[in-house]
Amino acid sequence: MKIKTIMANCSQEFFDSHSEIRRNMATKDIELLVANIEKGPLSLESPVDEVFAGPYILKEVASAVNEGCDAVVIDCAADPVMRAARHVSSIPVVSAGEASHHAAMMLCDKFSIVTTMAVSVPMFKENIAKYGYSNRVASIRAIELPVLALEDIEKTFQALCKTSEIAIEEDGAEVIVLGCTGMMETRDRLQEYLQIPVVEPLSIGIQYAAAMVNTNLRHSPICYIKASDSTVALIGDL
């Protein structure tokens, strides 16, 4: 099957340096189409960034069917425009953040999300509130490194270790969920260091998208009513 992942930023540099590791996430029988958005923020860290990335994420989602894809994964832990995306797609739309929560809940009672910046935290809180399982979240914490600084993997790893330990000891976290898909290179080492599960959102998002395709499931048309033609036309006008 073919799955399209959509980075929620338009940084060419980020795309160039992170495409390879994404493509390596394809397990047997998955072909990945790694995409980013053509316009918008260089990184998605705040609700304002989400507003500007939004139209271009929808454009990438809408084009996936014609590109022969069986499912789409929004490659961002903050799940930007996830609901709207399902209104414009006839194939499954999984979002990395939401998928990572569901995986974490099957591994423990309470998980913490460790993300990049304090300005990002309310986006996660809002998502968790919308999704309706706040009681399963121990805390949402930031390491205070912006997305584009995650390139320094050693520094990112150290910051994640420190903040995750606080989440475990003070907040009662039993699993750590990475709060940015730009952190994936630290995951194995972090899991080894912390000795508890560390969920990387994009990798589990891809697996869950494949699970949907394998079991012939797609978002409910009653919940996500097909967008009207005039609405879809707005995508064409971008």
Residue list 137-166, contact with a second copy (CB under 8 A): none
135 is a site residue for a second copy (CB under 8 A): yes
From residue 8 to residue 47, what is the string marking binding to a second copy with x (rule CB under 8 A)?
-------------------xxx----------xxx---xx
Least Cβ distance, residue 165 to a second copy (angstroms): 12
221 is a site residue for a second copy (CB under 8 A): yes
**Beta strand 137-142 pairing with 71-75:** unpaired
**Beta strand 111-115 pairing with 175-178:** parallel
Residue type, 2: K
Interface with a second copy (CB under 8 A), residue total 80
Q: Which of residues 104-123 bind a second copy (CB under 8 A)?
A: 105-110, 118-119, 122
- Residue of 8, 71, 72, 175 interacting with a second copy (CB under 8 A): 175
- Residue of 32, 69, 77, 168 interacting with a second copy (CB under 8 A): 168
From residue 178 to residue 197, what is the string marking binding to a second copy with x (rule CB under 8 A)?
----------x--x---xxx
Q: Which of residues 43-72 bind a second copy (CB under 8 A)?
A: 46-52, 54-55, 58
Please, which residues have CB within 8 angstroms of residue 59's CB and are 6 or more apart in sequence? Answer: 37, 38, 235, 238
Please, which residues have CB within 8 angstroms of residue 142's CB and are 6 or more apart in sequence? Answer: 114, 115, 116, 117, 118, 120, 121, 163, 179
Least Cβ distance, residue 67 to a second copy (angstroms): 20
- Residue of 74, 78, 180, 212 interacting with a second copy (CB under 8 A): 212
Instruction: Provide the 10 A C-beta neighbour count for residue 29.
Output: 9
By C-beta, is 33 or 119 nearer to a second copy? 119
Residue environment code for 123-138, b if the CB has 16+ CB neighbours within 10 A, otherwise e: bbeebbeebeeeeebb
Q: From 132, 58, 122, select the one nearest 95 (Cα to Cα).
A: 58
**Beta strand 31-36 pairing with 2-7:** parallel
Least Cβ distance, residue 196 to a second copy (angstroms): 5
Six-digit token pair at 216? 């012939």
